Amino acid sequence: MTNTLHRKGTPESLKNDYVIFCTLARGVNSEGSTPKIQEFIRICQKYNPVNMGDARHGNILMDDVDIQKLLDQKGDGEGATAVFNDLDTLRKVMEDLIKADLGVSINISGLLGDVQSCCRKAGIERHSAEHSLGIWGAKDRLPEREILEVNTLCGHGMVSFNLIRKMVEYVKLRRLTAKEAAKTMAKCCECGVFNPVRAEKLLEKMVKKE
Amino acid sequence: MMEIDKEKCVGCGNCHVICTMGAIYLDEDGKSEVNQEECVECSTCYRVLRNEGYMPWFVRAVRKVLSFFRLGYLAEVNVCPTGALTPPELKWPRSLRSNFSDPVAIHPGTGIGGRGTEEIKSNDVTGRIRKGEAGVVVEMGRPGIGAYFRDLEKVTQALSHLQPLFEPKNPVTLLIKDQKTGKLKDEILNEKVLSAIIEMKIPLEKIPEILKTLEVVQKDIDTVFSVGISSRCLPDGSIPHEEWVRKAGYILSPNGKTNIGLGRPRFQED
C-alpha cells in the first residue's frame, strides 16, 4: 500500500505531520502478533497521537471508536497507525518502540531527512525508503493545490474534493469551526492516518485566502 | 450496486458531497440518484453518513413548514436523515470496484485489505526489495479522480516491454492475463476504481527507462497516477534509487516512507 507516501505540502507544513505504522508480514511474523500490536498502540497512546486506527476497526475520531475498542478488537496480523505533529514526540515514540523490541516492522511517513536524523539519534540506521515522484497524467482534471493537500491526508483518497470544498464553505459561514470540519473529514479516513490538526490549519488558510 | 431508496430519500444532498467520485446527483423528482457508471462502490456514503432514522414523511413535513416561513432545512453534513442508502451485493466483475475502492474490503485474490501489498513496509522481514533493486508503484486514479481498467491496461502494456517483475501478490498483477504483453482480463476493462496500484520490481539501472515509459504513456490516459520508488538502504543509510532518479532528471519528494528495520526475523540476504 502506498497510503501516506503521496502526502502533498510544503516542507514547512510537512514538518508537523508524521505517521507511524506497525506492519506484520503475512505468513512470516503475523501469527501470534496480537499482543505486539496492542503494545504498539499503548506506546503510541502514551504520547497523545492526534489520530490512530486501522482499516478494519476505524479511527479514534469516529463516534463509535476509541483506543480501548481498538485494543480489545485487535487480531493477529492487523496493523495499526498513529499520527503525531512533531519530530520530538516522534523520536520519543521511536525510542520506546526500540526498547520494547516488539519484532514488528515499523514504518514512518514524513520528511525523510528528519526521520533519518531521528533514527540516528536513536542509534539505528534506516532499512528501506520510498519517495514519491508526484502526480502524472491528466493533471488538468485536478483541483487546486490546497484541496489536494487535504485530500492526500487520507491515503486511500476517501475525503472527496467536494467535501473539502463544502467544509471550507461551512467554516466561512461559521456553521462549523475549522476543528469540527477537520474532524468531520477525518471520519471518512478509515485507517486513521488523516492528520486533523494539519487539516484544521489548511482549512483556516483556505478560508482566509477566499 | 449502491442504491438510494427513493421512498426514503429526502434530497438533502449530503451523499453528493461525501461521494469520492461526485457520482451522486438530484434527479428530476428532487431525489438523489447514483450514476452507476461513475460509482466505484467505495461505500463511503453508506459508512460515513449516520442514519438518523427519521421517517421520510416527517422530514418532508418539517421542510414544508419551514419553507412556509421562508426558512431552509439543512441536515448535519455527516448524516443521512432517513437511512436511504442501500449497501450493494456485488457480482463479478463489478465486485472489483469495491475490492479496490473500499478500504474495509479484503481482496479475495490476496486476502489483504487495501489496494496493494505490504510493499516496503515489511521489507526488513520479507526481503521483497533487495540490494540492487528498486520497487516501483504506479497508483492509477490517485489522487481523487479514479481510473478505469482500460486506462490501467495502457500502462501495464507500456511497462511490460521493459519486462519488470510484477509483484505476484499484488491484486492488479492477478488481473494481468499475459505478463509479456501486459494485457488485462477483457471483462474488467470497463470497471472503474478509486485507485489501483501497479507494483513491480526492477534493477536500479532500469529506473530511467521506466520513468521515460511512464512519461510517454501518461499522455494516452484520461486519468492521473501517482508514482513511488523504493529501495533497500545501504549500510550508511543512503538511498540507492536517489541517484538514478536524479540522473534521469526527476525530482524526489522531500517526504516519503521509511522502514526503520525493527521487524523480526530479519531477512538475511546472501
CATH number at residue B23: 3.30.70.20
CA distance B259 to chain A (A): 4
Q: Which three cell numbers stand for residue B245?
A: 532518479
- The confidence score (pLDDT) of residue B114 equals 64
- The confidence score (pLDDT) of residue B112 equals 62
Same domain, A174 and A102: no
Whether residue B53 lies inside any domain: the answer is yes
Which helix (H) or strand (E) segment is A90 a member of? helix A87-100
Whether residue A134 lies inside any domain: the answer is no
Please report, in angstroms and rounded to a whole number, the separation of the first and last CA atoms in chain A: 35
CB contact under 8 A, A135 and B223: no
Q: How many domains does chain A have?
A: 2
Range of the domain at A159: 139-209
Whether residue B104 lies inside any domain: the answer is no
Q: Kindly report the CATH number assigned to the domain that includes residue A50.
A: 3.30.70.1110
CB contact under 8 A, B233 and A112: no
- The confidence score (pLDDT) of residue B7 equals 94
Range of the domain at B58: 3-89
Does A188 reach chain B within 8 Å, measured CB to CB?
yes
- The confidence score (pLDDT) of residue A26 equals 87
CB contact under 8 A, A55 and B221: no
Same domain, A33 and A99: yes
Whether residue A127 lies inside any domain: the answer is no
Q: How many domains does chain B have?
A: 2
For residues A50 and A197, what is the distance between their CA atoms, to the nearest angstrom?
Answer: 7
Same domain, B80 and B202: no
For residues A161 and A40, what is the distance between their CA atoms, to the nearest angstrom?
Answer: 33
Same domain, B120 and B181: yes
Q: Which residues of B touch A43 (CB under 8 A)?
A: none
Whether residue B266 lies inside any domain: the answer is no
Whether residue B81 lies inside any domain: the answer is yes
8 A C-beta contact, residue A191 and residue A209: no
Whether residue A1 lies inside any domain: the answer is no
Q: Which three cell numbers stand for residue B194?
A: 478509486
Q: Which residues of B touch A28 (CB under 8 A)?
A: 122, 125-126, 265
Q: Which residues of B touch A183 (CB under 8 A)?
A: none
* pLDDT tens track, chain B, 270 positions: 789 999 999 999 999 999 999 999 999 999 999 999 999 999 999 999 999 999 999 998 998 899 889 888 777 899 999 999 988 889 999 999 999 999 888 777 666 666 777 888 999 999 999 999 999 999 999 999 999 999 999 999 999 999 999 999 899 999 999 999 999 999 999 999 999 999 999 999 999 999 999 999 999 999 999 999 999 999 999 999 999 999 999 999 999 999 999 999 989 886
Same domain, A21 and A74: yes
B127 CB-near residues (< 8 Å, 6+ apart): B267, B268, B269
Same domain, A96 and A158: no
Does A162 reach chain B within 8 Å, measured CB to CB?
yes
CB contact under 8 A, A29 and B265: yes
Specify the residue for cell string 503494545.
A39
CB contact under 8 A, B144 and A112: no
Does A75 reach chain B within 8 Å, measured CB to CB?
no
Same domain, B134 and B238: yes
Q: Which residues of B touch A109 (CB under 8 A)?
A: 255-258
User: What is the residue-wise DSSP string for A180-203?
Assistant: HHHHHHHTT-TTS---HHHHHHHH
Does A110 reach chain B within 8 Å, measured CB to CB?
yes
CA distance B181 to chain A (A): 21
Same domain, A68 and A97: yes
Q: What are phi and psi of B192, to 5 degrees?
A: -115, 140
CA distance B124 to chain A (A): 7
A168 CB-near residues (< 8 Å, 6+ apart): A181, A203, A206, A207, A210
Nearest to B41 by CA among B115, B99, B93: B99
CA distance A32 to chain B (A): 13
Question: pLDDT below 70 — which residues of chain A?
Answer: 1-2
CB contact under 8 A, B126 and A29: no
Whether residue A96 lies inside any domain: the answer is yes
Does A117 reach chain B within 8 Å, measured CB to CB?
no
Q: Which three cell numbers stand for residue B255?
A: 517526504
Q: Which residues of A touch B136 (CB under 8 A)?
A: none
Closest chain A residue by Cα to residue B78: A184
* End residue of a domain, out of A121, A153, A185: A121
The angle, 0 to 180 degrees and rounded to 10, between the axes of the packed helices B207-217 and B149-160 is 140
Same domain, B71 and B7: yes
Same domain, A200 and A102: no
B263 CB-near residues (< 8 Å, 6+ apart): A23, A25, A29, A103, A104, A105, A106, B122, B124, B125
**Neighbouring-strand partners of residue A105:** A23
Cα→Cα distances B62→A21, B10, B73, B109, B196, Å: 47, 11, 8, 49, 44
Same domain, B134 and B196: yes
Q: Which residues of A touch B221 (CB under 8 A)?
A: 137-138
**Neighbouring-strand partners of residue B199:** B137
8 A C-beta contact, residue B42 and residue A189: no
Q: Which residues of A touch B208 (CB under 8 A)?
A: none
Amino acid at A73: Q
Smallest Cβ–Cβ distance between A132 and the set B124, B226, B233 belongs to B226
Side-chain half-sphere of A95: how many Cα atoms within 13 Å?
A: 14
Q: Which residues of B touch A184 (CB under 8 A)?
A: 77-78
CA distance B30 to chain A (A): 20
Whether residue B22 lies inside any domain: the answer is yes
8 A C-beta contact, residue A179 and residue A200: yes
CB contact under 8 A, B137 and A134: no
Cα→Cα distances B65→B58, B82, B83, B86, Å: 11, 18, 22, 29
